[in-house]
Chains A and B, each alone.
Chain A
């Protein structure tokens, strides 16, 4: 999934290094004289972090005395605007892109760089910390289930067509293979064919399913599921729900009712990796109305560039749990931000 983004980031990195390198080349041609004439000037190292424009004299001074360079805003402006376009092309939402760029700019501008220190490592460090900050921590479902009282109730939410039902089946299969007993609650009672769909999935992976008629109250279905799980000592309940748009007030209050009735331990928000700017809007809205403890991104195999992961994580600050990467039951991978960032910025 992140292949495209990686290529772009590495290109951006080369550009940034290039700009800084070019900037570094300039002061080297300057004579040592101005610095030598005022050797007792105050320590430049103390404030420059805050100072946007370093004077020529102080630049030379820093260069000569401390063997360091100060990176200025102009020197990296071009490279940053190119990085901005790259992030946008990778589906990182506009406000999130702005935030990342601002962060990198703040970190780089006014920074001193030792002559010996490689430009590359400085840029990589900045990008890495910016991305890690955005992506936050991953979410380890297996240890969460081990650490909490059973049954662990997990509610899946999201807009229409993001792949909630398929994700429920995949996670069911994943947990079953980890040795947990799993129950699925067929809470999508609205969409035609949804109950049949999850029923077939459940039968294929050999998981018990609780279902009512189409058109039934989803809260009732999921309440029954919880009752069944408690009396049969089942470890995990996966509650599927109908897709709904965050703009439909009554559907969102239905979801709130489900949450009240079922009291889930985890609310998992499901969205697709190919979504654009809207991913931010709806994630924020779902998080506001019913909350979200973790995020699953589906359809990550569609040659997508992973921008949605960055957008959503940045907007609601909740960890990514899984990536859906195909149509088979085992096409699901636990998400680990360090690994992803490592892959994005690793060897170049």
Chain B
């Protein structure tokens, strides 16, 4: 996701790290680079100006604390100001509640509604959804299909044209459930009658939370739209969707600053599992290449409970085909490798692009091929010669080329993981700076 924003921010910091003297000119240059990076990420122009002013004055006026070089001091200020920009994460309490989803047309409310329901369901709560979108054709079909897949009750009424009436019926019919999520029609802040409708929906449902769903690609409009939604129904959380594209979500960050709420979730994929909790600290760390181990652990705990795959095993260095097999299985549940790699503290280390290229279908093929290997081969892949390769290919219904490709992928993974070792420890300023300067 945030690759290019992350790269440009890191480049700006790297430049600073390479400077022999950190003076006014160096700070000015850093601020200018940061401005460009944030502006091209769609962060609101006014916010960017405020932020860069704060970074400039603080870097030049505040004396650096003892035992901290000017360089580290500036980096810390950048980090703090960025964290301040995106406010705090809001708490998602695991208790009975009603959630009202609001947002512009096409921002992904319906898909997100199903994802949120799935999130609460995974946490062990009984969740249900109400489809209050009476306008868009197919909206109920979409939501009920998604809900069927994850086994969550979905209330809707195709005959009823009044969103309020549907919601009233829905609240009554699903009253035994603990978490109720109300999906609404897409609307923008200039449609006065639709804004009135959502105010009424809010009063009717007495919603515990009112979450604004925002497309990561939304530009400078985000602040204004968020402000008006906030005025209407007092938004207390923002969900950023479509973070799996190249959009950087700067508009959504501006919306957060505008509503003084926090980012609740990030959506990054088309299935109901592709939803992630948001932690501003981790987000910024990730942005600056400092890793987000907390999110990684949370995700691993959720996914790998049954399988008992040791995440540390892969960090330890002994890495066999058998480990890779287990990993492929676990990874399937944890999400794309790239997302996971994003959470590791890698500094600005570049990973070979090929590592990510294994699509899920390929993973399935790989597992089938590995199923045709003997235990000895799995433990020591160097055993595999061309006659063994023939046999494996034959057994798996694959070509020897595919087996060769698998071994090549294994070697790539092994190399990558060796490179990862020793990169642990969250937000270690000293080491981070060293790595930045080391890259020069």
Closest B residue to A271 using CB positions: B217
Tell me, yes or no, whether B14 is within 8 Å of chain A by CB. Answer: no
Tell me, yes or no, whether B145 is within 8 Å of chain A by CB. Answer: yes
Q: Of the 9-residue stretches A21-29, A59-67, A272-280, which lies at the interface with chain B?
A: A272-280
Cβ–Cβ contact A85 & B45, under 8 A: yes
Closest A residue to B245 using CB positions: A245
Of A160, A192, A197, A274, the contact of B136 (CB 8 Å cutoff): A197
Cβ–Cβ contact A194 & B142, under 8 A: yes
Report chain B residues within 8 Å CB of A91. Answer: 219-221
Cβ–Cβ contact A200 & B42, under 8 A: no
- Nearest Cβ in chain A — how far from B206, in angstroms? 28
- Mark out the residues of chain A between 297 and 314 whose CB falls within 8 Å of any chain B CB in the assembled complex: 298-299, 301-305, 307-308
Cβ–Cβ contact B139 & A193, under 8 A: yes
Given A162-B106, A200-B137, A301-B188; A193-B219 close (CB under 8 Å): no
- Nearest Cβ in chain B — how far from A18, in angstroms? 22
Q: How far is it, in angstroms, between the C-alpha of A272 and the C-alpha of B225 when the chains are bound?
A: 15
Tell me, yes or no, whether B408 is within 8 Å of chain A by CB. Answer: no
Tell me, yes or no, whether A163 is within 8 Å of chain B by CB. Answer: yes
Tell me, yes or no, whether B189 is within 8 Å of chain A by CB. Answer: yes
Report chain A residues within 8 Å CB of B107. Answer: 161
Interface string of B244-264 (1 = CB under 8 A from A): 111110110000000000000
- Nearest Cβ in chain B — how far from A116, in angstroms? 38
Q: How far is it, in angstroms, between the C-alpha of A277 and the C-alpha of B8 when the chains are bound?
A: 15
Tell me, yes or no, whether B190 is within 8 Å of chain A by CB. Answer: yes
Q: How far is it, in angstroms, between the C-alpha of A11 and the C-alpha of B216 when the chains are bound?
A: 30
- Nearest Cβ in chain A — how far from B365, in angstroms? 14
Tell me, yes or no, whether A189 is within 8 Å of chain B by CB. Answer: no
Cβ–Cβ contact A245 & B45, under 8 A: no
Report chain A residues within 8 Å CB of B139. Answer: 193, 197
Q: How far is it, in angstroms, between the C-alpha of A166 and the C-alpha of B353 when the chains are bound?
A: 37
- Nearest Cβ in chain B — how far from A305, in angstroms? 7
Cβ–Cβ contact B138 & A307, under 8 A: no
- Nearest Cβ in chain A — how far from B158, in angstroms? 10
Report chain B residues within 8 Å CB of A246. Answer: 245-246
Cβ–Cβ contact A201 & B137, under 8 A: yes
Interface string of B105-140 (1 = CB under 8 A from A): 111101000000000000000000000000111111
Cβ–Cβ contact B217 & A276, under 8 A: yes
- Nearest Cβ in chain B — how far from A4, in angstroms? 9
Cβ–Cβ contact A193 & B215, under 8 A: no
Q: Which among B108, B137, B143 has the greatest number of chain A C-beta atoms within 10 A?
A: B137
Tell me, yes or no, whether B73 is within 8 Å of chain A by CB. Answer: no
Cβ–Cβ contact A194 & B108, under 8 A: no
Given A160-B108, A301-B190; A279-B217 close (CB under 8 Å): yes
Report chain A residues within 8 Å CB of B143. Answer: 192-193
Cβ–Cβ contact A247 & B244, under 8 A: yes
Interface string of B232-254 (1 = CB under 8 A from A): 00000000001011111011000
Q: Of the 9-residue stretches B33-41, B164-172, B368-376, which lies at the interface with chain A?
A: B33-41
Cβ–Cβ contact B242 & A161, under 8 A: yes
Of B106, B145, B248, the contact of A163 (CB 8 Å cutoff): B106
Given A89-B45, A160-B108, A304-B221; A276-B246 close (CB under 8 Å): no
Tell me, yes or no, whether A76 is within 8 Å of chain B by CB. Answer: no
Q: Which among A200, A250, A272, A308 has the greatest number of chain B C-beta atoms within 10 A?
A: A272
Cβ–Cβ contact A93 & B40, under 8 A: yes
Cβ–Cβ contact A278 & B188, under 8 A: no
Cβ–Cβ contact B42 & A278, under 8 A: yes
Report chain A residues within 8 Å CB of B141. Answer: 192-193, 196-197
Closest A residue to B43 using CB positions: A276
Given A301-B190, A302-B190, A303-B190; A200-B219 close (CB under 8 Å): no
Tell me, yes or no, whether A137 is within 8 Å of chain B by CB. Answer: no
Cβ–Cβ contact A327 & B135, under 8 A: yes
Report chain A residues within 8 Å CB of B203. Answer: none
Of A85, A94, A245, A285, the contact of B40 (CB 8 Å cutoff): A94
Report chain A residues within 8 Å CB of B218. Answer: 274-276
Tell me, yes or no, whether A57 is within 8 Å of chain B by CB. Answer: no
Report chain B residues within 8 Å CB of A248. Answer: 244
Of A197, A214, A307, the contact of B137 (CB 8 Å cutoff): A197
Tell me, yes or no, whether B379 is within 8 Å of chain A by CB. Answer: no
Tell me, yes or no, whether A263 is within 8 Å of chain B by CB. Answer: no
Tell me, yes or no, whether B146 is within 8 Å of chain A by CB. Answer: yes
Of A191, A245, A274, A304, the contact of B244 (CB 8 Å cutoff): A245
Cβ–Cβ contact B246 & A299, under 8 A: no
Tell me, yes or no, whether B359 is within 8 Å of chain A by CB. Answer: yes
Tell me, yes or no, whether B102 is within 8 Å of chain A by CB. Answer: no
Closest B residue to A245 using CB positions: B245
- Mark out the residues of chain B between 64 and 94 whose CB falls within 8 Å of any chain A CB in the assembled complex: none
Tell me, yes or no, whether B104 is within 8 Å of chain A by CB. Answer: yes
Tell me, yes or no, whether B50 is within 8 Å of chain A by CB. Answer: no
Q: How far is it, in angstroms, between the C-alpha of A346 and the C-alpha of B1 when the chains are bound?
A: 42
Cβ–Cβ contact B45 & A278, under 8 A: no
- Nearest Cβ in chain A — how far from B73, in angstroms? 29
Cβ–Cβ contact A277 & B245, under 8 A: no
Cβ–Cβ contact A161 & B215, under 8 A: yes
Tell me, yes or no, whether A90 is within 8 Å of chain B by CB. Answer: yes
Report chain A residues within 8 Å CB of B188. Answer: 299, 301-303
Report chain B residues within 8 Å CB of A85. Answer: 45
Tell me, yes or no, whether B224 is within 8 Å of chain A by CB. Answer: yes
Q: How far is it, in angstroms, between the C-alpha of A268 and the C-alpha of B306 when the chains are bound?
A: 47
Tell me, yes or no, whether A99 is within 8 Å of chain B by CB. Answer: no
Cβ–Cβ contact B242 & A245, under 8 A: yes
Tell me, yes or no, whether A333 is within 8 Å of chain B by CB. Answer: no
Report chain B residues within 8 Å CB of A200. Answer: 137-138
Cβ–Cβ contact A278 & B190, under 8 A: no
Query: Besides the contacts A94-B36, A303-B190, what 11 more A-B pairs have beta carbons closer than 8 Å?
Result: A91-B221, A160-B106, A160-B108, A162-B106, A193-B139, A197-B138, A245-B244, A247-B245, A279-B219, A299-B105, A302-B225
Top 6 A-B pairs ranked by shortest CB distance? Answer: A276-B219, A193-B142, A197-B138, A161-B106, A200-B137, A276-B42
* 15 sampled A-B residue pairs with Cβ under 8 A: A91-B220, A93-B40, A162-B106, A193-B143, A200-B137, A246-B245, A272-B217, A274-B221, A276-B251, A278-B245, A279-B217, A299-B104, A303-B188, A303-B189, A327-B105
> Interface of B with A (CB < 8 Å)?
36, 39-42, 45, 104-108, 110, 135-143, 145-146, 188-190, 215-221, 224-225, 242, 244-248, 250-251, 270, 359
